[in-house]
Chain A
Amino acid sequence: GAGVSQSPSNKVTEKGKDVELRCDPISGHTALYWYRQSLGQGLEFLIYFQGNSAPDKSGLPSDRFSAERTGGSVSTLTIQRTQQEDSAVYLCASSLAHSGRGTQYFGPGTRLLVL
């Protein structure tokens, strides 16, 4: 009965380094979402997966961002060549079904700081 978990909870990296953020959704949830929350900003939708497929990647901020999901479960968000503006809290959510008909359950987030 665990909720959505994310790791690491905090990540400090140097500009130019690559980082990987992990999301473990609730078991059985087919839809998985990534968001970014910057200080003083709302949530910025990045990408969603239905199963292992991401139908729309247009929300990713740049080509330095990529995401994958394997086995219909764990998802990884990768940021290459990190920049200071990437500093934010990255939130993952999962739901039984895509579209708002499935309630999204959010994880605690990964706080990323790029120095």
Chain B
Amino acid sequence: AQSVTQPDIHITVSEGASLELRCNYSYGATPYLFWYVQSPGQGLQLLLKYFSGDTLVQGIKGFEAEFKRSQSSFNLRKPSVHWSDAAEYFCAVEGGNQFYFGTGTSLTVIP
């Protein structure tokens, strides 16, 4: 069965520091992969997605993610975090007619 694991429930980083949020998936074929962000009081917003081709995907707000088939991972990165990046981040995989989301990683940014 398809599944998505986000091992880190909560991460705290200093503003200006680099960030990596982990995501591992389980899917039989090459999946479609996504990262979403949910800011307080706001709806979910797509950061980036991967279908095929270049395994390094660029998204909005300076985020990028790298698909590593050998590790079944799709980790999200940002070189320099801003205070406004504090939010909940969800990794998702599309399998067949359904979408599977991880349980999310809550990001706190300290000045």
A interface residues, Cβ below 8 angstroms from B: 3-4, 33, 35, 40-45, 48, 55-56, 58-59, 91, 93, 99-101, 103-104, 106-109
Contact = CB atoms under 8 A, between A and B. Distances in A.
A99 B94 contact: yes
A99 B32 contact: yes
A99 B99 CA distance: 9
Interface in B3-52: 4, 6, 32, 34, 43-46, 49, 51
B74 interface: no
Contacts, number: 54
A55 B98 CA distance: 10
B70 interface: no
Interface of B: 4, 6, 32, 34, 43-46, 49, 51, 90, 92, 94, 96-104
A93 B92 CA distance: 14
A103 B97 contact: no
Q: Which label, helix, strand, loop or mixed, suits the secondary structure of the B interface? A: strand
B97 A106 contact: no
B101 A56 contact: no
B96 A100 contact: no
B103 A109 contact: no
A40 B103 contact: yes
Contacts of A100: 32, 34, 49, 51, 94
Contacts of B49: 100, 103
Given A40-B103, A45-B101, A99-B94, 16 more contacts: A4-B43, A33-B99, A42-B103, A42-B104, A43-B92, A44-B101, A45-B98, A45-B99, A56-B98, A100-B94, A103-B49, A106-B43, A106-B44, A106-B45, A107-B43, A108-B43
A82 to B, nearest CB: 23
Nearest to B32: A100
Contact of B97 (A35, A44, A55): A55
Nearest to A59: B98
Contacts of A35: 99, 101
A56 B97 contact: yes
Contacts of A104: 44, 46
